[in-house]
């Protein structure tokens, strides 16, 4: 699929996900009414107002719209980070959390809950802030421990990330078990955060993640040609004049920033950064100039649709978003393992 067909398909996907997200829930609304209500807030289009009640406007603008935008942004961030990681490690089975970023965020979130921190930023509670700090701190630690003679071998980075990620997961569990107050529900809060969700999020969460996704995503696209070269292998990239070490450091920082921002506001959501880049690579081809933006949009659509499922499939019970993405992604991952027999699996 190329050109106009791809653009139309992605736009249609965003429109469908938006319509379902704004209209479905505990109080169903007509998709056209919800859409017109959103459009009526655009200067010059006030005449489109469908006349929703105040309660319905609150549902659309204070509950569902920020939730939709957050799902789109988180999905975009994870998918773009997945594209970078797969090119970085030259492996289509790599994912954004492969170097321990999500585990670092879990440690930060656990500390915030157990310690009863109250420091937030811009209307946000302490958990997103602590999770973001934890994710970036672990990324810096993994990079520092992976340096070898002024270089960062990919294999060493991967193994270090796996080891540190396991250590951080154990540390988070240890802090939670030994430090929680029996009079509070620390365990429930941390476990729910680790399962991932965009439920109950506000405009403050959207405001937090949007600059990171837009800025880091745009800079990543600037390096799309370098990603094409890097995908050829280190020797070929060096022969073609690419400063492999410098580009790797920049890409690692960008993908880590995208993942940390996403995990901080939504918790741990798996498989989006794995399945979306792989599927879009089949559709668009390997050119990262097309693959990056296509994966970003597709990731947002996938997460928005998964969020609709999370609140409707077992209504009135809401299933954590991470469970939905795992149920969708795990079978695909097994299929990918079966297809890639050269790995000997």
pLDDT score of 262: 92
Distance CA 318, CA 308 (A): 10
Q: Which domains does the chain have, with CATH numbers?
A: 3-26+67-343 (1.10.3470.10)
pLDDT score of 189: 77
pLDDT score of 69: 96
> Is residue 92 within 8 Å of residue 275, measured between CB atoms?
no
Interhelix angle for 321-339 vs 272-284, to 10°?
A: 50
Q: Is the CA virtual torsion 63, 66, 69, 72 positive or negative?
A: negative
> Is residue 127 within 8 Å of residue 142, measured between CB atoms?
no
pLDDT score of 181: 66
pLDDT by residue for the chain (345 residues), tens only, comes to 567 788 899 999 999 999 999 988 877 788 888 888 888 777 666 666 667 778 888 888 889 999 999 999 999 999 999 999 988 888 777 888 888 888 999 899 888 888 877 665 655 678 888 888 999 999 999 989 998 877 888 888 889 999 999 999 999 888 888 876 655 666 777 888 888 899 888 898 898 899 999 999 999 999 999 999 988 877 788 888 888 888 888 998 999 999 999 998 898 898 899 889 988 988 888 899 999 999 999 999 999 999 999 998 887 888 999 899 999 888 877 876 776 654 444
- Report the phi/psi class of residue 121: left, alpha or beta, with left for phi > 0 and alpha for psi in -120 to 50: beta
pLDDT score of 222: 95
Concatenating the DSSP letter of every residue in 111-171 gives HHHHTT----STT--HHHHHHHHHHHHHHHHHHHHH-BTTB--HHHHHHHHHHHHHHHHHH
CA atoms within 13 A on the CB side of 21: 28
Length of the chain: 345
């Amino acid at each position: 699929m190329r050109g106009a067909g791809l653009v139309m398909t992605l736009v249609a996907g965003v429109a469908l996900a938006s319509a379902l997200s704004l209209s479905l829930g505990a109080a169903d609304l007509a998709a056209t009414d919800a859409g017109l209500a959103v459009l009526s807030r655009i200067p010059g289009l006030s005449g489109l107002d469908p006349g929703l009640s105040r309660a319905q406007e609150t549902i659309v603008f204070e509950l569902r719209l920020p939730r939709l935008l957050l799902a789109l942004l988180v999905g975009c961030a994870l998918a773009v980070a997945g594209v970078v990681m797969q090119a970085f490690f030259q492996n289509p089975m790599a994912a954004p959390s492969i170097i321990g970023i999500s585990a670092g965020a879990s440690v930060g979130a656990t500390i915030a809950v157990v310690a009863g921190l109250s420091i937030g930023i811009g209307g946000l509670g302490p958990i997103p802030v602590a999770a973001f700090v934890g994710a970036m701190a672990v990324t810096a630690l993994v990079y520092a421990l992976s340096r070898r003679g002024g270089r960062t071998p990919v294999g060493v980075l991967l193994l270090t990330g796996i080891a540190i990620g396991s250590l951080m997961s154990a540390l988070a569990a240890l802090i939670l078990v030994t430090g929680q107050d029996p009079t509070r529900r620390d365990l429930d809060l941390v476990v729910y955060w680790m399962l991932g969700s965009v439920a109950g999020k506000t405009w403050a969460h959207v405001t937090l993640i949007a600059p990171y996704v837009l800025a880091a995503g745009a800079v990543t696209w600037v390096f799309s040609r370098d990603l094409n070269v890097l995908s050829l292998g280190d020797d070929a990239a060096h022969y073609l004049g690419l400063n492999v070490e410098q580009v790797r450091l920049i890409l690692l920082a960008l993908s880590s920033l995208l993942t940390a921002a996403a995990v901080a506001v939504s918790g741990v959501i798996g498989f989006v950064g794995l399945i979306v880049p792989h599927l879009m690579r089949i559709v668009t081809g390997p050119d990262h100039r097309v693959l990056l933006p296509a994966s970003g949009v597709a990731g947002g659509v996938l997460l928005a649709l998964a969020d609709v499922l999370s609140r409707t499939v077992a209504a009135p019970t809401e299933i954590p978003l991470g469970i939905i993405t795992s149920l969708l992604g795990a079978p695909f991952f097994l299929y990918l393992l079966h297809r890639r027999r050269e790995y000997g699996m």
